[in-house]
Amino acid sequence: MTIIHNTVRFIAVAALLASAAVQAQQTAPVRVRGEIISVDATTLTVRHTSGETVKISITPDQGVGAVKNVKLADIKKGAFIGTATKLAPDGKHVAIEVLVFPESGRGTNEGHYAWDLLPGSMMTNANVETVMSGVEGRTLHLSYKGGSKDVVVPENTPVVTLAPATRADLIAGKKVFVVAKDTPLGLSATRIVVEKDGVAPPM
């Protein structure tokens, strides 16, 4: 009887873990980077950077944002930023891009985790504790819940902050960054950042 109970318990736990894995897979965000091919009332069609054509469902009241350039020197102690990084041969984290959040965005997706901008890239959303100038650019000491990182930001790194945009800015030929959820009916946009005034989303 004990063996039967243990077997049943094992099957139940395995089923629970499998269910959790499927749910996690379904809820993981899908990030699409590319160029807008077309847009209509319900669908945004994007040419992915891989060359693939991707169709993404959008809503009539779909929120759309943009970014604008800011200076690296404008990043001060106390700012909350998100930066995609790659590892240099010497082990340093080097910024590929930096997004300076407005105060209302403080705490957004805070942490240090894998990112898909480049193979092996990471994302760090964190508070700027110190800013140090050097020959490589600036080094930001970042702190987040559970840890900290030093990130070198070369002078030519794209540094942006959020800017307003509307659905009218979704124009064929514009670069776009879309965060979407994968549903049984296909991809559905949860966040869209589009190129505006010549500034493409670098994230």
- Whether residue 144 lies inside any domain: the answer is yes
Residue 128 covered by a domain: yes
Residue 71 covered by a domain: yes
Within-domain flag for 133: yes
Mean pLDDT, consecutive 10-residue stretches, the chain (203 aa), reads 42 35 60 98 97 97 96 96 97 97 96 97 98 90 97 97 97 98 97 98 97
Q: How many domains does the chain have?
A: 1
For residue 140, the enclosing domain spans: 67-161
Please report whether residue 52 resides in a domain.
no
**Residue 192: count of CB within 10 angstroms of its CB:** 26
Identify the burial level of 141 via C-beta atoms within 10 angstroms of its C-beta, where 0-12 means exposed, 13-18 middle and 19 or more buried: middle
Q: Is residue 112 part of a domain?
A: yes
CB atoms within 10 A of CB 144: 17
pLDDT at 136: 79
pLDDT of residue 23: 40
